[in-house]
């Protein structure tokens, strides 16, 4: 009987295996090529980075001299509208230099000479003489413009380019250097803004390769000159510390005005040993970028964060696609194994939820250790796989229940079918159960059929069987089959029924009442139409029995055989006869009249039979 499970189970296992393989291929395709989930992954990482950064403070030795909105307003009388004369910056630089800072870094482009105020440019250059720690930005232009640029070999030393082993001596390079500054003072690096595909800047360039020459970025150039370690890689993922504005900002106007006072009010050593970055956070100068920390992060703070990272050896490290793919493969493989082993989908979902929480918590804590764990994409793929597996199991279960409904609607009361389905269907394997079997056979059927046409006989039988099957169903019985003009039914399966014997006898008594009403419909000419009902209680094997093409839910065993034999003994004795086992199982629900013991074919011991009577009444 157990072999009956093989084809459906095998088919289900094949389907589950296909789902698992399909999602493994999807994971490989997504994580190695498509990266459709990368924006979500990045946003989650940004959230974790932002939350961790808010509890940290940036390097106190990095100070921003901010050309803020207040400075633009207050410097209006002194310097006019922006851009200010370069001589103003020269005065500020001399004042800062007197405090002996570690370095002065401009985050302002001086790529064009001031044709209207050349003396101001000269004053700026004069202020720079003798200062060896002032740095200026430049911009690497689109490589398509390189043909119009200067020969790399000629400008390499001025720009601080590093010659690689494969350096092309004949190549040309398009950059925007600080042309307003005398090349004698060029200590330069690029400030090109790097943004990911979603427009968020998470990295800062360290060096750009151009025909075998390495172009250092501004923070990399400063860090290298100051003796800090600069990783030999194209860029670094920024390790943010503090919310936007957390770096110490000194208003440009405050500092400039204090330097111009005879009696300065600010500390004379506030910038001593500091890395001073001169830039702007003013909204009107449009140097605002989207970062994990803010959609409007001043570019000068991004530069400051890069310098902070290089100075303190802090950079985020992101585990690559191999890590994400490994996690996805592991989760999908475990899901496949769980569903193939038939583990309940809710339990699997709960376990996956715990894994999800643990993975997200690990990712959050890893950020504090400067690691970015790409766990969201594997988790999303795993959940998609889980819902696919769960949907498959739901549809399989639904089909199974529909089949159970279709199958059992032929045998039992529709209410019993609903109850059966609610309890998960039936076991396709046979099982031994204690049941009560009932056989009901028509008497006088031959005479009845001789008086009618075949069509009338069929209509009469259908009418009679319909009435009697309704009785069986009403008392919770299961219709096994029709054997010619005989009805076979049983109680105690497929649902448990502790009082199956009593219900079977109640049904038999009502079947007798229905018979009497049916005989009145037939008329006097069919007065010989009668039935014999035999009932026995005992163990039997119950289940789906038959071939792969056709199975019937039925009962087999000695109990069934004896029930049939008892029905055969009713003729001339009583319309309903039950065995002692049935009588005893009914308790005191009925009165019973003994009809003695009978020899039954196939049994050495005689069987004692009884006719049930309603209490206080008589059998029809």
In which band, very low, low, confident or very high, does the pLDDT at 100 lie, cut at 50, 70 and 90? very high
In which band, very low, low, confident or very high, does the pLDDT at 1 lie, cut at 50, 70 and 90? very low
- Kindly give the residue spans of alpha helices, DSSP state H, lying in 552-615: 558-568, 580-586
Q: What is the mean pLDDT of residues 375-396?
A: 96
Per-residue pLDDT at 408: 62
Per-residue pLDDT at 4: 39
Whole-number Å distance between alpha carbons of 602 and 579: 16
Per-residue pLDDT at 547: 75
pTM above 0.85, yes or no: no
Whole-number Å distance between alpha carbons of 209 and 204: 15
In which band, very low, low, confident or very high, does the pLDDT at 620 lie, cut at 50, 70 and 90? very low
Phi and psi for 468 in degrees, rounded to 5?
-75, -35
Give pLDDT tens digits for 354-379: 999 999 999 999 999 999 999 999 99
Give pLDDT tens digits for 546-561: 776 677 788 999 999 9
Q: Where are the beta strands (DSSP E) in 2-124?
A: 62-66, 103-106
Phi-psi region of 212 (alpha: psi -120 to 50; beta: other; left: phi over 0): left
Phi and psi for 180 in degrees, rounded to 5?
-75, -10
213, containing H or E segment: strand 213-216
Contact between 176 and 111 under an 8 Å Cβ cutoff? The reply is yes
Q: What is the mean pLDDT of residues 496-521?
A: 93
Whole-number Å distance between alpha carbons of 371 and 582: 76
In which band, very low, low, confident or very high, does the pLDDT at 429 lie, cut at 50, 70 and 90? low
Q: What is the mean pLDDT of residues 448-466?
A: 86
Q: How many helices (H) and strands (E) does the chain have?
A: 19, 26
Distance of CA 283 to the CA centre of its chain: 41
Q: Is the pLDDT of residue 7 over 70?
A: no
In which band, very low, low, confident or very high, does the pLDDT at 618 lie, cut at 50, 70 and 90? low
Whole-number Å distance between alpha carbons of 550 and 544: 9
The end-to-end CA distance of the chain, in Å, is 43
Say how many CA atoms lie within 13 Å of 83 toward its Cβ.
17
Phi-psi region of 40 (alpha: psi -120 to 50; beta: other; left: phi over 0): alpha
Phi and psi for 619 in degrees, rounded to 5?
-70, 140
Lowest mean pLDDT among 385-394, 412-421, 488-497: 412-421
Query: How does the average pLDDT of the chain come out, rounded?
Result: 91
Q: Is the pLDDT of residue 421 over 70?
A: no
Q: Is the pLDDT of residue 152 over 80?
A: yes
With vertex at residue 202, the alpha carbon angle to CA 305 and CA 219, rounded to the nearest 5 degrees, is 40
Give pLDDT tens digits for 568-598: 999 989 999 999 999 999 999 999 999 999 9
Contact between 585 and 436 under an 8 Å Cβ cutoff? The reply is yes
Distances from the Cα of 614 to the Cα of 324, 352, 594, 617, angstroms: 75, 60, 14, 5
Per-residue pLDDT at 457: 86
Which of the given ranges, 196-200, 297-301, 496-500, has the highest pLDDT on average? 297-301
DSSP code at position 212: T
Whole-number Å distance between alpha carbons of 57 and 458: 94
Percent of the chain's residues with pLDDT above 90:
79
In order, the DSSP letters of 257-303 are: HHHT-SS--S-TTTTTT-EEEEE---GGGT-EE--SS-TTEEHHHHH
Residue 593's DSSP bridge partners are 611
Per-residue pLDDT at 550: 72
Q: Is the pLDDT of residue 617 over 60?
A: no
Whole-number Å distance between alpha carbons of 614 and 500: 17
Lowest mean pLDDT among 272-286, 337-351, 440-454: 440-454
For 412-613, CATH number? 3.30.70.1230
Give pLDDT tens digits for 519-534: 888 777 666 788 999 9
- Count Cβ atoms within 10 A of the Cβ of residue 252 and give its class: 0-12 exposed, 13-18 middle, 19 or more buried: buried
Say how many CA atoms lie within 13 Å of 597 toward its Cβ.
6
Contact between 311 and 358 under an 8 Å Cβ cutoff? The reply is no
Q: Is the pLDDT of residue 395 over 60?
A: yes
In which band, very low, low, confident or very high, does the pLDDT at 449 lie, cut at 50, 70 and 90? confident
Whole-number Å distance between alpha carbons of 506 and 501: 9
The residues of the chain that CATH labels 3.30.70.1230 are 412-613
Give pLDDT tens digits for 127-142: 999 999 999 999 999 9
Q: Is the pLDDT of residue 507 over 80?
A: yes
Residue 450's DSSP bridge partners are none
Give pLDDT tens digits for 159-169: 999 999 999 99
Phi and psi for 103 in degrees, rounded to 5?
-165, 155
């Amino acid at each position: 009987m157990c072999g009956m499970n093989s084809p459906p189970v095998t088919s289900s296992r094949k389907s589950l295996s296909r789902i698992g393989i399909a999602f493994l291929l999807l994971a490989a395709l997504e994580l190695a090529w498509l990266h459709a989930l990368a924006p979500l992954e990045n946003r989650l990482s940004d959230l974790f980075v932002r939350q961790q950064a808010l509890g940290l403070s940036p390097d106190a030795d990095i100070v921003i001299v901010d050309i803020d909105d207040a400075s633009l307003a207050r410097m209006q009388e002194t310097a006019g509208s922006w851009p200010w004369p370069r001589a103003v910056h020269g005065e500020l630089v001399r004042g800062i230099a007197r405090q002996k800072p570690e370095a002065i870094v401009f985050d302002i482009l001086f790529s064009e000479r001031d044709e209207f105020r050349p003396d101001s440019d000269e004053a700026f250059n004069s202020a720079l003489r003798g200062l060896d720690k002032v740095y200026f930005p430049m911009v690497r232009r689109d490589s398509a413009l390189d043909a119009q640029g200067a020969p790399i070999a000629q400008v390499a030393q001025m720009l601080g380019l590093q010659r690689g082993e494969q350096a092309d001596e004949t190549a040309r390079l398009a950059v925007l250097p600080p042309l307003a500054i005398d090349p004698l003072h060029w200590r330069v690096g690029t400030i090109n803004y790097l943004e990911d595909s979603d427009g968020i800047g998470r990295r800062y360039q360290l060096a750009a390769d151009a025909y075998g020459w390495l172009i250092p970025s501004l923070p990399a150039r400063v860090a290298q000159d100051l003796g800090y370690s600069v990783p030999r890689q194209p860029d670094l993922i920024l390790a943010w510390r503090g919310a936007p504005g957390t770096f110490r900002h000194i208003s440009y106007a405050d500092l400039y005005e204090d330097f111009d006072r005879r009696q300065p009010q600010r500390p004379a050593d506030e910038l001593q040993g500091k890395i001073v970055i001169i830039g702007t956070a003013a909204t009107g100068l449009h140097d605002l970028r989207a970062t994990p920390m803010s959609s409007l992060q001043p570019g000068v703070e991004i530069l400051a964060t890069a310098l902070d990272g290089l100075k303190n050896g802090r950079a985020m490290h992101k585990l690559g696609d191999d890590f994400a793919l490994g996690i996805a493969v592991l989760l999908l493989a475990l899901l496949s194994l769980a569903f193939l082993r038939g583990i309940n989908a809710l339990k699997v979902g709960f376990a996956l939820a715990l894994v999800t929480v643990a993975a997200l918590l690990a990712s959050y804590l890893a950020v504090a250790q400067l690691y970015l764990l790409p766990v969201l994409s594997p988790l999303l793929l795993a959940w998609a796989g889980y819902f696919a597996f769960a949907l498959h199991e739901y549809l399989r279960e639904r089909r199974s229940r529909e089949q159970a409904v279709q199958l059992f609607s032929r045998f039992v009361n529709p209410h019993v079918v609903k109850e059966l389905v609610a309890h998960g269907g039936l076991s396709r394997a046979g099982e031994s159960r204690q049941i009560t079997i009932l056989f009901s056979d028509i008497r006088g059927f031959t005479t009845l059929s001789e008086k009618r046409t075949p069509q009338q006989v069929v209509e009469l039988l259908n009418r009679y069987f319909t009435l009697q099957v309704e009785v069986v169903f009403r008392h919770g019985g299961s219709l096994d089959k029709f054997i010619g003009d005989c009805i076979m039914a049983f109680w105690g399966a497929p649902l448990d029924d502790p009082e199956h014997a009593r219900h079977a006898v109640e049904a038999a008594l009502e079947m007798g009442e229905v018979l009497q009403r049916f005989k009145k419909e037939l008329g006097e000419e069919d007065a010989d139409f009668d039935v014999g009902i035999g009932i026995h209680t005992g163990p039997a094997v119950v289940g789906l029995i038959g071939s792969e093409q056709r199975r019937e839910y039925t009962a087999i065993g000695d109990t069934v055989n004896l029930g049939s034999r008892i029905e055969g003994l009713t003729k001339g004795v009583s319309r309903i006869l039950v065995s002692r086992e049935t009588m005893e199982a009914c308790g005191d629900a009925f009165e019973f009249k003994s009809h003695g013991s009978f020899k039954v074919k196939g049994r050495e011991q005689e069987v004692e039979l009884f006719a049930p009577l309603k209490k206080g009444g008589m059998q029809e």
